[in-house]
Amino acid sequence: MEKRIGDLKINGQSSSAGGNYNAVIINGEGKIAGDLDCIKLKINGRCDINGNVKAESVEVYGSNSIKGNLEAERAKIHGTADINGNLAVNKAEIHGSIDVEGYCNAEIFNIEGTFDIKELLNAGVLKLSLYGPSKAREIGGEKITVQSKGKYDLLSLKDKLMSSIGQGKELTADIIEGDEIYLENTQAKVVRGDNIELGPGCEIELVEYKGSFKQDEKAELGTPKKI
């Protein structure tokens, strides 16, 4: 492991090379060229990172784009994050929106806002409080809770316009699989698990369950199947 070279601080507008640091603090607008390895990354404003990021703690109050993978013990985002690679984190708390081009792995994944994950979203505990259209190709976890808040305060003008002209359900996924599953306003081809409850606004083609199954009268289901 390379020796850490102290702290990197940007106040105002500036750019820097990547490297190994103790703490990276951005107050304003920063650009980092290259991979970043640090104990703490904190962004107050905006930061674009052209490389992979590895950190123990990541905090974003504003916006952050990463042209690579993000690996962290803890990630807290108040605003927006765009990750061109994969996201691997022990605990993620997101208040806003996150886009991930690859997969997302977490032990705990809590979001209040919207997300777009191109591949698999996998976590031990998933709590998704959605304020607008969100999607993932597949979703897996031990306990999955999806609730629609029905408010659009966190969305951009573009998202508000798209929602107003009817862009479907809050959450869209091909497959959702877990042990304990509760869904609202979700459109999926297959939902598979032990105990499953479909809340209002769901449109599911096939449900496969081992234990219990409940369906709200405002949920639409093609076929329930006990396995």
Strand boundaries in 149-184, DSSP class E: 171-183
Same domain, residue pair 223 and 124: yes
Mean pLDDT value of segment 8-36: 97
Q: Is residue 166's pLDDT more than 60?
A: no
107 domain residue, yes or no = no
The reported pTM is: 0.88
72 domain residue, yes or no = yes
Give the chain's domain count: 2
Same domain, residue pair 136 and 57: no
Condensed to tens digits (0 to 9), the pLDDT of residues 102-156 reads 999 999 999 999 999 999 999 999 999 999 899 999 999 999 999 987 544 444 4
Range of the domain at 32: 1-85
Alpha carbon distance 40, 57 (integer Å):
5
Q: Is residue 221's pLDDT more than 70?
A: yes
More confident residue, 40 or 162: 40
Boundary residue ending a domain (41, 70, 85): 85
Boundary residue ending a domain (67, 85, 103): 85
End-to-end CA distance of the chain: 49
